[in-house]
Amino acid sequence: MRIFHNLNVDFLGKRKLFYIVSLVLFLIGLLNIIFRGLSFGIDFKGGAEIVLQFEKQIDIAQVRANVENIGLGTVEVRTFGGETGVLIRTEMQEIPTDVYPKVVSSIEADINKIVPGVAFNVVEKTANSITYSFPNPDTTNLVVDQLGLVGFQTSKVSQEPDNTQMDVRVAISDWIKINLMDKFKDNQFTVLKEDKVGPKVGDELKRDAVIAVLLSLVAILIYLGFRFKFVFAVGAVAALFHDVLITLGLYAALYGVIPGLNLDIDLSIVAAFLTLVGYSINDTVIVFDRVRENLKIHKTQPLFEVMNKSINQTMSRTIITAFTTLLAVFVLMLLGGDVLRAFAFTLLFGIVIGTYSSIFVASAFVLEYAERSKKKVQFS
């Protein structure tokens, strides 16, 4: 890009201004995390979650009023991806014991509607399913098909022609669907996603996610310490902490603010943050590589001038890389659907803040260390 040819901007001379910018962003992020908190998805909290897509615009208040009265305790209900999408989440993993008889009564009432007066027996009953037995295979097949149409998940116990037994799943998501189908008969919906995670699994996933991020930072610290010098490694990791914390602060600040943007932190968002870490460190390594090359060539030149020259020389590549990546991520955010929107949003902001930090945080850290310690940074 000719606009960046022979660029000569005193980036590091303005570093104190950018210290203030980074400090303000850092504090805003930290305060939002402390006071607003982060919203964790079902992957980390545990519980049951269902995402529904209605055919027409839905009144979220009506959905909430109906779901809150079916015995599932505290239930989170909010829009998902637009005016026709609804996300419903509860921290329960199974139907409560006091609600279970209502679910059974609903199943058996529907069976009697499908085949009035049919005789059936309960073969087995567990917290998650009920097995029924019918007089003949034809009745069994009919009930399996028709009961599935009203929202229950059904299956034949055996695929043998003479099978007369049927399993009906008893799950929180099924109970939610049955009640909403009855209340919104003129506005049908499809199920986009169902998830169920136990609290123990959620805690393990949260711990593993934290370990994954910390191990990646330690690995980067060790690698850069060997490739450059330890102060360069510390500067790069400081920039990564800067990027991650500010992005997390943005999550806390914007949660529930932007319609259609689900900013719950789940495993896909952890993957986005690890991608952000990789992208940010790549930008930083490019600058540091040029600094090392220039220090070998200009051994008597002050570090301030060498680092400024290196940033200017790599600016064209930095801007082109960031711009082309942003285009791809922006398209992903627009067209990737509800599931990928938050992932793309994380990368979109992360690329911008990562490009900024590779210039004004990582490089400035190395320069500040050299000036304050009076140690000469050089490569043989």
Q: Under CATH, to which class is 2-41+199-373 assigned? A: mainly alpha
Q: Which pLDDT score, from 0 to 100, does residue 200 have?
A: 56
> Tens of pLDDT along the chain (380 residues)?
455 566 777 888 888 888 888 889 888 888 888 888 887 776 677 778 888 888 888 888 888 888 888 887 778 787 777 778 888 888 777 888 888 888 888 888 889 999 898 888 989 888 888 999 999 999 999 998 888 887 788 888 888 888 889 998 888 888 888 888 878 888 888 888 877 766 555 677 778 877 877 888 888 888 888 888 888 888 888 888 888 888 888 888 888 777 767 777 877 888 888 888 888 888 888 888 888 888 888 877 888 888 888 888 888 888 888 888 889 888 888 887 666 788 888 889 888 888 888 888 888 888 888 888 777 766 66
Domain segments of the chain: what residues?
2-41+199-373, 47-91+175-196, 100-170
- Single out the residue of 133, 183, 188, 182 nearest to residue 162, CA to CA: 133
Q: Which pLDDT score, from 0 to 100, does residue 133 have?
A: 92
Q: Which pLDDT score, from 0 to 100, does residue 378 have?
A: 67
Q: Which CATH number does the domain 47-91+175-196 belong to among 3.30.70.3400, 3.30.450.40, 3.40.50.300, 3.40.50.1460?
A: 3.30.70.3400
Q: What is the 3-state secondary structure (H, E, C) of the chain?
A: CHHHCCCCCCCHHHHHHHHHHHHHHHHHHHHHHHHCCCCECHHHHCEEEEEEEECCCCCHHHHHHHHCCCCCCCEEEEECCCCCEEEEEECCCCCCCCCHHHHHHHHHHHHHHHCCCCCCEEEEECCCEEEEECCCHHHHHHHHHHHHHCCCCEEECCCCCCCCEEEEECCHHHHHHHHHHHHCCCCCEEEEEEEEECHHHHHHHHHHHHHHHHHHHHHHHHHHHHHCCHHHHHHHHHHHHHHHHHHHHHHHHHCCCCCCCCCCECHHHHHHHHHHHHHHHHHHHHHHHHHHHHHHHCCCCCHHHHHHHHHHHHHHHHHHHHHHHHHHHHHHHHHCHHHHHHHHHHHHHHHHHHHHHHHHHHHHHHHHHHHHHCCCCCCC
Q: Which pLDDT score, from 0 to 100, does residue 266 have?
A: 78
User: What is this structure's pTM?
Assistant: 0.68
Q: Which pLDDT score, from 0 to 100, does residue 1 have?
A: 46
Contact 66, 183 (CB under 8 A): yes
% of residues, the chain, pLDDT over 70: 94
Q: Which pLDDT score, from 0 to 100, does residue 236 have?
A: 87
- Token digits of residue 91: 């921290």
- Token digits of residue 10: 């005193």
CATH number of 100-170: 3.30.1360
Distance CA 196, CA 232 (A): 44
